[in-house]
């Protein structure tokens, strides 16, 4: 079986463990001049934007797997394909077993955060492209005071950028900066991203029982409640909605529980079963 992907995932590892696979190569000189037949992938795992190569692979592979229905619909509309060779397998994430209340308590004691304060969290690989400045505006506009913001990054460049921006808004003291991801601690995760993809960070947050806010750019809105979908990175209603949740604890608790239930269905077993059905369809 010929396969192709940009990024190795648990799903691609699973496929390679159950099938004898060959990784697709775009072809050498003889292929390009037409003296050697090009063999396209049986399965192409598409991610990212529509480059010249990805368009060719989508049009010629037996099956293209994408990570959201939103992306599938966009490809059909953009390329004018009928979609019969496009399959959707949503991302998967399985958090470790833990008791959130206990982990939160330990974290708050370590960082001298009052126990009644809710944790509002931001993290991303690229702070600028994922809307950190909008995150700062959102927390700066909150009326409630029963919160503490936490951001995490292992990159010094991102940390310096964040500190300078927080200092500019004079809210550096309201924010704790750590290196490790703290989805197991957070109550609310905010990602005002401008990037068009399915952010696994959203799924991680939901799986770890967080309220999540993200933008319509993010294909992960497919698994989010409409209440939490931001109408763009600068959606002024986001601060108002967070204030409401900080006031009404039961509503926050309800959304956390619902997010956990949705995310708990997106397991590696779910992905493997979906892929197994695709393989049956191909009779490979």
SS3 content of the chain, % helix, strand, coil (to 5): 45, 15, 40
> Is pLDDT above 90 for 245?
yes
Q: What is the dihedral of CA 188, 227, 142, 220, to 10 degrees?
A: 50
Element (H, E) at 244: helix 237-247
What confidence score (pLDDT) does residue 28 get?
54
Sort residue 37 into left (φ over 0), alpha (ψ -120 to 50) or beta: beta
pLDDT for 130-142, tens place per residue? 999 999 999 999 9
Q: What percent of the chain has pLDDT over 90?
A: 91
> Is pLDDT above 50 for 30?
no
How many angstroms separate the Cα of 240 from the Cα of each of 139, 140, 163?
Answer: 10, 12, 25
Residue range 216-228: mean pLDDT, rounded = 95
Name the burial class of residue 111, with classes exposed (0-12), middle (13-18) and buried (19+) by CB atoms within 10 angstroms of its CB.
Answer: middle
Residue range 2-11: mean pLDDT, rounded = 94
Distance, in Å, from the CA atom of 62 to the CA atom of 74, rounded to the nearest integer, reads: 19
What confidence score (pLDDT) does residue 48 get?
84
Predicted model pTM: 0.93
pLDDT for 149-179, tens place per residue? 999 999 999 999 999 999 999 999 999 999 9
């Amino acid at each position: 079986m010929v396969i192709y992907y940009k990024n190795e995932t648990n799903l691609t590892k699973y496929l390679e463990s159950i099938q004898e696979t060959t990784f697709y190569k775009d072809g050498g000189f003889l292929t390009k001049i037409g003296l050697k037949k090009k063999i396209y992938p049986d399965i192409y795992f598409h991610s990212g934007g529509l480059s010249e190569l990805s368009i060719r692979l989508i049009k010629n592979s037996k099956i293209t797997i994408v990570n959201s229905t939103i992306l599938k619909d966009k490809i059909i509309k953009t390329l004018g394909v009928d979609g019969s060779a496009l399959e959707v397998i949503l991302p998967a994430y399985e958090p470790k077993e833990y008791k959130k209340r206990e982990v939160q308590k330990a974290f708050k004691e370590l960082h001298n955060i009052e126990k009644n304060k809710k944790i509002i969290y931001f993290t991303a690989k690229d702070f600028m492209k994922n809307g950190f400045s909008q995150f700062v505006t959102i927390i700066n506009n909150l009326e409630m005071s029963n919160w503490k913001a936490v951001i995490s990054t292992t990159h010094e460049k991102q940390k310096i950028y964040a500190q300078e921006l927080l200092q500019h808004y004079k809210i550096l003291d309201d924010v704790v900066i750590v290196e490790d991801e703290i989805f197991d601690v957070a109550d609310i995760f905010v990602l005002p991203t401008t990037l068009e993809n399915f952010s696994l960070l959203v799924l991680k947050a939901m799986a770890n029982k967080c309220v999540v806010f993200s933008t319509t750019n993010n294909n992960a809105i497919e698994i989010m409640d409409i209440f939490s979908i931001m109408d763009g990175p600068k959606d002024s209603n986001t601060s108002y909605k967070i204030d409401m949740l900080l006031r009404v604890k039961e509503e926050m608790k309800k959304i956390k529980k619902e997010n956990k239930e949705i995310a708990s269905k997106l397991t590696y077993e779910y992905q493997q079963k979906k892929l197994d059905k695709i393989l049956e369809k191909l009779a490979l």
